[in-house]
Structure 1
Amino acid sequence: MTQNVLLVEDDMSIAIVITAALEAEGFGVSHCVTIAERDRMLADRGFAALVTDVMLPDGDGIETIERVRALHPHMPIVILSAQNTLDTAVRATDTGAFEYFPKPFDIDELARTVRQAAGTAQGLAADGEEPVADGLPLVGRSAAMQSVFRMITRVLRNDLTVLILGESGTGKELVAEAIHQLGNRREGPFIAVNTAAIPAELIESELFGHEKGAFTGAVARHVGKFEQAAGGTLFLDEIGDMPMQAQTRLLRALQSGTVRRVGGREEIRLDTRIVAATNKDLEPEIAAGRFREDLYYRLNVVPIHMPPLRDRRDDIDVLARHFLQHAANEGLPRRQLTKEAADLLSRQPWRGNVRELKNFIYRLALLAREDVIDAEAVLPLLTQEAPPPAEDGGAPRAVDIATAVSEWLAVNRPPSGSIYNSAMAAFERPLFAEVLRETAGNQLRAAQALGINRNTLRKRLGELALDPEEFARRP
């Protein structure tokens, strides 16, 4: 017997693609474009699953899910949305949706998910919690951030330990805050500890507390971070830098569910969610004996990988405007970015990731002379941002090709229509010059080293105004 799926999607091109994929999976598909049509069809019959967009011509698909639940409480629901924010992901999850797909999505993955949903004996029940407020800490609509949002939504209704991985400045603490603010422990405290900033001899006291007289200077009982976080979330930042002795104590606490203050005998039952983060690759640290493998597996129950800003360039524009708004809220002049200025920012390497971008935007808001910031106003500050060249005798700064291209485009962007030829000339000239220098101007050896035809090399040298004899004359 053919199972039928109800698809609610007003974009006909997307609807056609989804319908074809579901029919290839053996489903019958009924399609409508409005909430009113959806409700009428659901009143008449049941479906194996509902696939619905959020923004529909007559309302918000998420806000009206309650009506769907009233008619068919066990029907699994798959939500699609072009509103790719953490707020949308959380709202979708709070409905008890089987899955949430931000657009654009993998059509094959969607079809597999609907097949899985339809085979589920009972759809996930809505938990009836109040809708999450706006003002969420994370910003981003790129595919990389959508993966982060989806992982966050999976840990909101449980207390599984989370390990957040990513470079410095990517927003790992914001993820921890989001998990706390949106999860079951939101009414409890959020306690953040930078384990790299605490002296090794004090870290156990800071985490687990100490009794009066436990060591010199312990003049009173001290309640540690684990106890302070009771009923809430304990965020252990830079966990990869935790001293080995403290790692052993932390592992014991996670295994037993209890902590003991330094110098104490009482076992104190833990009532906190653990979220840890590190900018280090822990597997090499384990191999080097600097991090306990058993602790790694205790912490790495649910890993969340924060992408570097270079892997989410689509977010730089929205992040920049977000930070300009925050800067204005904090008393700095209210500024706006032109499209050209935003494009220029999006081409930068941002080695310090989101933290570096935020600091730059605040500085830009302070120093810009006009309320509307164009590319000409951005460029001088970007030039100031560039790291200084190596001093005489120092090692040159290592730059990868992607970074070099971004920096070159930022400073020397050719007119539209000539970017490729200009970029190839800018790349080939120093490349050919370096190889000719190595071969003392010998074109045959240079062509062999480059892996190109000698005539091709000779032609390009003429076009680039490079004289091989100049390199032959150099000592």
Structure 2
Amino acid sequence: MTHSVLLVEDDKGIATVITEALREEGFDVTTCESLAKRDALLAEHQFDVILTDVMLEDGDGLASIHTVRALAPDVPVIVLSAQNTLDTAVRASDSDAFEYFPKPFDLDELTQAVAQAVASRPAPENVGEGEDSALPLIGRSPAMQGVFRMITRVLRNDLTVLITGESGTGKELVAEAIHELGARKTGPFVAVNMAAIPHDLLESELFGHERGAFTGAIGQQIGKFEQANGGTLFLDEIGDMPAEAQTRLLRALQSGTIRRVGGRQEIGVDVRIVAATNRDLAPMIADGRFREDLYYRLNVVPIHLPPLRERREDIAALVRHFLGQASDEGLPARVASADAIAALTAREWRGNVRELRNAVFRLALMAREDTIDKGAVDDILPPTKPRDEGDDRVGLESAVEAWIESARPADGALYHAALAAFEKPLFELALERTEGNQLRAARLLGINRNTLRKRLSELDIAPEAFARRR
């Protein structure tokens, strides 16, 4: 994908140098030398980033950013200025400029900032097929700015990246951005979720297999490594990878070759590896569940995605984005009032950006008025309990302990009683994560689809209740 840049600069020499530098990095650059021509171009064309000088022939480029915001409200603006004063820097910050560069500036830093600004915009729709593909990379918070800076630092190289963060923060979107904005953007982007593939099929999924390699292998299959040749392979939920597959993955990373299951030939592959996990791998390494040498192979460049509770200042922009997305998908066009934004910002969002998106879609569907207010938020969304920031272990262990205390199963019956108590919510969670898709839910759970269907019937669970509503 080619990204467009509008450069507003009346010094032809500087404009030429910037234009050539950006075009070398693959950007499509349009130049103009005045505010009037800038506004005319913005009225007729869409741009991904705007670079503007301050002192122009017909006015102050910094003072007129409000006009840019009216014509292109979501486009990041980078300010360039020969007026190297604190006042200019403060004005640039107050105007919500994405970045400020005093002249003379480093061209490499400028091109990196442009790439970072592009990455800060909502990701293209349907780039990937993962659960995070509908989540945007939006955020002016310091935490997200740090993420954007890390993304720009890996665009010009093939270093392996490990993305960490809680479920629903948008890890796959970061992987997609690294691919789409980087040197491998013309190659394939292949994503594989380790948690969604039965362990006995994972090696075949990654490396492929030859005919007759195992029961059911009726033909040769090309694995994800070969499918991603020349591009990027995204290994999601890497912490769920079984030990044997970890060993084979390490060997592939070290040698740059793979061998199909049941095959004898070593096959060279040229892929960039981006991995992700919502688990803390350190204790898994300590107890032998994750290979330490594989961890260091993957964790060359770490990128941590912050949970939504640590970047609440981004919630307003996310809500506006999701309301627009909901309207594009056929739901009623809505806007959120200031008190509704405040109410949404105050909530916990344990499911992070994904949970916020689902909540905004629910509000767009069920609100009675075109303007969503605090009353609608309180009426439509269930209340949330305050998060205990001092104890992140509140969760599964506490739930099990609370159940044991209340159920008090008889001696010798704890195991079977616990299975009976937790099986239904576990199945419901799997269906919720896969939006009612039974095949994906079975893969996530690591069981046969027929087994899943039988247990859903016995537990009186309706998969259609978890299907996404459009």
What is the TM-score normalised by the length of structure 2?
0.59
Separation in 1, partners of 2:14, 2:160: 42
Question: Quick check: 1:210 aligned with 2:209?
Answer: yes
Shift of 1:124: 7.3
SS for the counterpart of 2:196 is: coil
Structure 1 distance, partners of 2:288, 2:14, is 62
- Aligned equivalent of 1:285: 284
Q: 1:132 to 1:219 in 2, by over 3 A?
A: same
SS in 1 for 2:163: strand
Displacement of 1:339 in angstroms is 0.7
Following superposition, the deviation at residue 141 of structure 1 comes to: 1.2
Amino acid at match of 1:200: H
Structure 2: distance between partners of 1:126 and 1:274: 24
User: Which one is further off, 129-138 or 233-242?
Assistant: 129-138
* Matching residue of 1:314: 313
Report the CA distance between 1:380 and its aligned residue.
1.6
Point out the structure with max Rg over C-alpha: 1
Counterpart for residue 172 of structure 2? 173
Task: Give the distance between the partners of 1:257 and 1:238, measured in 2 at CA.
Answer: 22
Question: Counterpart of 1:386?
Answer: 384
- 1:86 CA drift (Å): 11
| Alignment-derived partner of residue 262 in structure 2 | 263
Q: Which residue of 2 aligns with 1:201?
A: 200
Aligned residue runs from structure 1 range 9-408, under 5 A:
35-36=9-10, 58=35, 88=76, 135-136=122-123, 137-382=136-381, 384-386=382-384, 399-400=388-389
Query: Could you tell me how far 1:381 is from its partner in structure 2?
Result: 2.3
Q: Distance in 1 between matches of 2:74 and 2:145?
A: 8
C-alpha distance in 2 between matches for 1:199 and 1:288? 22
In structure 1, what residue type is equivalent to 2:225? Answer: F
SS at match of 1:274: strand
Partner of 1:201: helix, strand, or coil?
A: helix
CA distance in 1, matches of 2:14, 2:229: 48
Offset of 1:158 from its aligned partner?
A: 1.4
CA distance in 2: counterparts of 1:245 and 1:188, whole angstroms: 29
- The amino acid of 2:171's aligned partner reads K
Alpha-carbon distance change, 63 to 323 in structure 1, aligned in 2, over 3 angstroms: closer
Superposition deviation, residue 386 in structure 1? 3.3
Q: Could you say if the C-alpha distance between residues 276 and 360 of structure 1 is closer, same or farther in structure 2, counting changes exceeding 3 Å?
A: same
Determine helix, strand or coil for the equivalent of 1:343.
helix
Q: Determine helix, strand or coil for the equivalent of 1:202.
A: helix
Q: Distance in 2 between matches of 1:401 and 1:256?
A: 44
Aligned to 2:60: none
Residues 186 and 232, structure 1, Cα contact 8 Å, conserved in 2: yes
Contact 2:327 2:333 in 1 (8 A): yes
Give CA deviations for 1:170-226 in whole Å, capped at 9, x if unaligned.
Answer: 110111111111111112221111101111111000000000000111110011011
Query: Contact conserved, 2:239 with 2:290, CA < 8 A, in 1?
Result: yes
User: For residue 388 of structure 2, what is the amino acid of its counterpart?
Assistant: V
Deviations 1:253-312 (A, max 9, x none): 000001000000111111211110000111111111110000001000111000000000
TM-score (norm 1): 0.58
Taking a change above 3 Å as real, the CA distance of residues 166 and 286 of structure 1, as seen in their structure-2 partners, is: same
- Whole-angstrom distance in 2 between the partners of 1:310 and 1:201: 37
1:64 CA displacement: 6.2
Instruction: Verify the 8 A CA contact 1:368 1:377 in the aligned structure 2.
Output: yes
In structure 2, do the counterparts of structure 1 residues 398 and 166 end up closer, same or farther at CA, with 3 Å as the change threshold? closer
Equivalent-residue separation in structure 1 for 2:338 and 2:175 (angstroms):
32
C-alpha separation in 2, matches of 1:283 and 1:215: 34
Task: Provide the C-alpha distance between the structure 1 equivalents of 2:52 and 2:250, rounded to a whole number of angstroms.
Answer: 43
Contact kept in structure 1, 2:348 and 2:384, CA below 8 Å = no
Q: Where does the alignment leave 5 or more consecutive residues of structure 1 unmatched?
A: 1-33, 44-55, 67-81, 93-100, 388-396, 404-475
Distance 1:142 1:123, change over 3 A: closer
Is 246-255 or 282-291 further displaced after alignment? 282-291
**Distance between the aligned counterparts of 1:238 and 1:86, measured in 2?**
32
- Tell me the distance in 2 between the aligned counterparts of 1:241 and 1:287: 15
Report deviation, 1:125. Answer: 10
Cα–Cα, structure 1 residues 310 and 135, in superposed 2: closer, same or farther, change >3 Å?
A: closer
8 Å Cα contact 2:323/2:360 also seen in 1 = yes
- Contact 1:209–1:223 (8 Å) recurs in 2: yes
> Which amino acid is the alignment partner of residue 261 of structure 1?
R
* Equivalent position amino acid for 1:195 in 2: M
- Separation in 2, partners of 1:65, 1:256: 47
Aligned length: 315
8 Å Cα contact 1:86/1:149 also seen in 2: no
Q: Against the structure 1 CA distance between its residues 237 and 268, is the aligned structure 2 distance closer, same or farther, given a 3 Å change threshold?
A: same
* C-alpha distance in 2 between matches for 1:42 and 1:187: 28
Question: Secondary structure of the residue that 2:317 maps to in structure 1?
Answer: helix
Sort the Cα spacing of 1:86 and 1:246 in 2 relative to 1 into closer, same or farther, 3 A: farther
CA contact (8 A) 2:50 2:76 kept: no
Q: What amino acid does structure 2 have at the position aligned with 1:138?
A: L
Per-residue CA deviations over 1:423-464 (Å, capped at 9, x if unaligned) read xxxxxxxxxxxxxxxxxxxxxxxxxxxxxxxxxxxxxxxxxx
Partner secondary structure for residue 164 of structure 1: strand
**Kept in 2: contact 1:86–1:139 (CA 8 A):** no
Match of 1:407 in 2: none
Q: Aligned-pair RMSD on alpha carbons?
A: 4.2
Secondary structure at the aligned position of 2:320 is classed as helix
Mapping 1:400-439, distance limit 5 Å: 400=389
Q: Which SS does the other structure have where 1:196 is aligned?
A: helix
CA contact (8 A) 2:252 2:258 kept: yes
Distance 2:229 2:74 in 1: 26
Distance (Å, rounded) in 2 between the aligned partners of 1:234 and 1:285: 23
